[in-house]
């Protein structure tokens, strides 16, 4: 599947529409582009192609990138994701585009190619994620500022993952979901049926983790409902956040069923260690 192209993409080769700026050795470089930023830039490129650094759409994206709480350290604040840098990133994507009628700017990073390969044939998914990021950038409480473990490896980017994890830790929602489960029986893992109270007695009473079953890249900035939450043990919760895309609760159930049951003492040790890491 090939993404729809803007009519401007069919023009003859043009000059590179950004200004080459040199920096002195005394000025530290800004951090590499994160997946979130690359997704927004790729979304703009696939919609409008290579744009001038003075273009209003480039300036708007520069402002959005500067609002997002991704990088706490910005050594060269004047040049951090400025319009010239955004135009340069569009040129990096042009270099990866076999349909671009020119050569682009080939000094892009590894992540540029990874994001291009993941989303170039999935423009609908790309647009959905980019739209959620734009919506979050406009809200004062849009995205948490504190980083999460392993967030840099999430394809959808750091910010949606932070929001996802934040919703899983919402005390009021988690308490309601636990009460709902206790009213129906017990706090057992919805994947492997592990029950902390049965294994650890009083120490494990009321303990279980909460998993948001819909990534924000799918749901958008919507209000979380109890039906969006699943109760999982520490092991299964870790597995629910692995892979691309993340496995569903039913998918994890199938994996556990196919793998069979491990020895009880090994399972207990794994659960204990995983709980400590969290």
Residue-wise pLDDT for 239-274, tens only, equals: 998 887 789 999 999 999 888 755 444 445 445 445
Domain ranges of the chain: 7-139, 166-277
Write the CB contacts of 160 (distance below 8 Å, at least 6 apart in sequence): 36, 129, 132, 133, 154, 215, 216, 217
* CA dist list (Å): 144 to 68, 76, 161, 276: 10, 23, 10, 23
Q: Give yes or no for a cis peptide into 62 (omega within 30° of 0).
A: no
**What are the φ/ψ torsions at residue 142 (nearest 5 degrees)?**
-60, -50
Mean pLDDT for the chain overall: 83
Over residues 92-111, mean pLDDT: 88
pLDDT digit string (tens) for 156-214? 888 988 888 888 878 888 899 999 999 988 899 999 999 999 999 999 999 999 998 87
Is residue 73 within 8 Å of 37, Cβ to Cβ? no
Per-residue pLDDT at 214: 78
Q: What angle do CA 19, 21, 26 make, to 5 degrees?
A: 165
Please give the span between the terminal C-alpha atoms of the chain, in angstroms, as a whole number: 40
CB 61 within 8 A of CB 40: yes
Q: For 27-84, what is each residue's pLDDT tens digit?
A: 688 999 999 999 999 999 999 999 999 999 999 999 999 999 999 899 999 999 999 9
Give the dihedral sign, CA 252/253/259/263.
positive
Global pTM value: 0.68
CA distance 200 to 157: 37
Band of the pLDDT at 1, cuts 50, 70, 90?
very low
Give CA–CA dist 222/236, Å, rounded: 25
Helices (H) and strands (E) in the chain, counts: 12, 2
């Amino acid at each position: 599947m090939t993404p729809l192209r803007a009519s401007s993409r069919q023009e003859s080769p043009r000059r590179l529409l950004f200004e080459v700026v040199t920096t002195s050795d005394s000025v530290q470089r800004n951090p590499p582009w994160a997946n979130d930023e690359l997704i927004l830039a790729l979304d703009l490129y696939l919609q409008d192609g290579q744009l001038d650094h003075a273009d209003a759409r480039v300036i708007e994206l520069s402002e959005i990138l500067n609002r997002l709480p991704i990088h706490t350290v910005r050594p060269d604040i004047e040049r951090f994701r400025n319009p010239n840098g955004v135009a340069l990133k569009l040129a990096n994507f042009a270099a990866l585009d076999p349909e671009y009628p020119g050569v682009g700017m080939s000094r892009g990073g590894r992540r540029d190619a990874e994001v291009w390969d993941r989303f170039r044939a999935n423009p609908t998914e790309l647009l959905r994620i980019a739209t959620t990021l734009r919506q979050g950038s406009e809200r004062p409480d849009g995205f948490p500022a504190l980083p999460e473990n392993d967030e840099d490896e999430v394809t959808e980017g750091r910010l949606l993952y932070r929001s996802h994890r934040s919703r899983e830790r919402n005390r009021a929602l988690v308490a309601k979901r636990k009460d709902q489960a206790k009213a129906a029986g017990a706090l057992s893992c919805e994947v492997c049926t592990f029950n902390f109270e049965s294994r650890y007695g009083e120490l494990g009473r009321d303990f279980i983790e909460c998993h948001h079953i819909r990534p924000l890249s799918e749901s958008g900035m919507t209000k979380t409902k109890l039906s969006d939450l699943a109760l999982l043990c520490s092991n299964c919760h870790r597995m629910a956040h692995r892979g691309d895309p993340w496995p569903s609760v039913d998918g994890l159930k199938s994996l556990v069923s196919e793998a069979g049951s491990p020895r009880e003492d090994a399972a207990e040790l794994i659960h204990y260690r995983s709980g400590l890491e969290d």
